[in-house]
A = this chain, B = another copy of it.
Amino acid sequence: MEMSDRFLRACRREPVDATPVWFMRQAGRYMPEYRAIREKYSLLEICQRPELAAEVTLQPVRALGVDAAILFADILLPAIPLGVGLKFAKGEGPVLLNPIRNLDDVKNLRPVNPESDLGYVMETIRILRETLNGLPLIGFCGAPFTVASYLIEGGSSREFVKTKTMMYSAPGVWHALMEKLSDVLRDYLIAQIHTGAQAVQMFDSWVGVLSPMDYETFVLPYSQKVLQAAKKENVPTIHFGTTTATLLPLMKRAGSDVIGLDWRIHLDDGWKILGDDVATQGNLDPAVLLAPLPEIKRRVEDVLQRANGRAGHIFNLGHGILQNTPVDHVKAVVDMVHEYSLSPRERVGVRKFSPLPQGEGLGVRGGTR
């Protein structure tokens, strides 16, 4: 088994020689190589010039020794051909100049052909597949809910009041928008797979602001549509969100191979809710990477202990790397994860503490080593 096998094998819950590790936002401002490029080019320019996007994708691969590369792009790129006027304002994040307010706004969304309208993403994937020497490349898209929330709020949000108000007061508009977005995001993801992405992740970063009832009614069918179409292409699918503890059983119904967990739930408790038939990805708090190395190690090992050598765990953070993270700490985590898995040790039992009532043991099965 080659090193490059680990990530894809873990997605399929097959035994691996060591737990695979990659990081959300592993390419980004915390890296001096990235900042050097960002000084000369805007975020959109980097995304839209395949040679730059590929270079930025490769920076963490070279520096860290991660087990997968993730395409450098932004979840809002499809908003450009949709015609809603995407801009990245300095320090403010994305701004949508023509936010969605009513059914006419939804009808006026332009059709998107990912091969032509987002051809630069496909070209980046082609370059990367030639360069990566077998290291798996993850493609991705935003989930319909998270993309819709930006289109409705007109940018980032804390309370998501406009988004929820559309759900509750104009459900017809909401469903029309989600129908449209889930088609576009599905086609975009499938185009990435056809071009060479060997796994895909759907980011529903802000979905944790919803009640389970709202998730089931207003989100699940559309996330399901995207994931199930991607799954038919026979590449592993990863479904990511934050603050999802109470949404996990519903997210499972959306049908991905891997489900991301954040640090708000213990990995073993989250996996218990999800069940044996999905893989998990996570779940260190990104803020931990700013701690001293011994504290990082203690916490990395806590996550690995909770995974307990079970097939189907991909080590990651619970959200993206923070801007002030020291690069050597990120590199150290990669080494810690691999060394922990590779070094012989007595298998330790899962810790006793569980936030679930009537908690049972994990039903630990034979290790993978």
Could you list which residues of chain A lie within 8 angstroms of chain B, going by C-beta atoms? 158-161, 164-165, 168-169, 208-214, 216, 243, 245-250, 263-266, 269, 272-273, 275, 285-288, 290-292, 295, 302, 322, 324, 353, 355-358
Q: How many chain copies does the complex carry?
A: 2
Instruction: Point out the residues of chain B lying under 8 angstroms from A263, CB to CB.
Output: 211
Contact: B247 with A355, CB < 8 Å? yes
**Given A212-B266, A245-B246, A295 contacting B356 (CB threshold 8 A):** no
Question: Can you list 25 A-B contacts (CB < 8 A)?
Answer: A158-B158, A159-B286, A159-B322, A161-B287, A161-B290, A164-B285, A164-B288, A165-B290, A165-B291, A168-B287, A168-B288, A168-B295, A169-B292, A169-B295, A211-B285, A212-B353, A213-B266, A214-B285, A243-B264, A245-B245, A246-B265, A246-B266, A248-B355, A272-B357, A273-B355
Please, how many angstroms separate the alpha-carbon atoms of A211 and B287 in the complex?
11
Please, how many angstroms separate the alpha-carbon atoms of A239 and B212 in the complex?
23
Contact of A291 among B169, B248, B249, B250 (CB under 8 A): B169
Contact: B290 with A168, CB < 8 Å? yes
A194 to chain B, nearest CB (A): 35
Interface residue SS majority, chain A: helix
Please, how many angstroms separate the alpha-carbon atoms of A88 and B249 in the complex?
42
A50 to chain B, nearest CB (A): 31
Contact: B287 with A165, CB < 8 Å? yes
Please, how many angstroms separate the alpha-carbon atoms of A280 and B324 in the complex?
40
A296 and chain B: residue at smallest CB distance: B168
A269 and chain B: residue at smallest CB distance: B246
Contact: A169 with B243, CB < 8 Å? no
Instruction: Point out the residues of chain B lying under 8 angstroms from A356, CB to CB.
Output: 249, 273, 356-357
Instruction: Point out the residues of chain B lying under 8 angstroms from A213, CB to CB.
Output: 266, 302
A214 and chain B: residue at smallest CB distance: B285
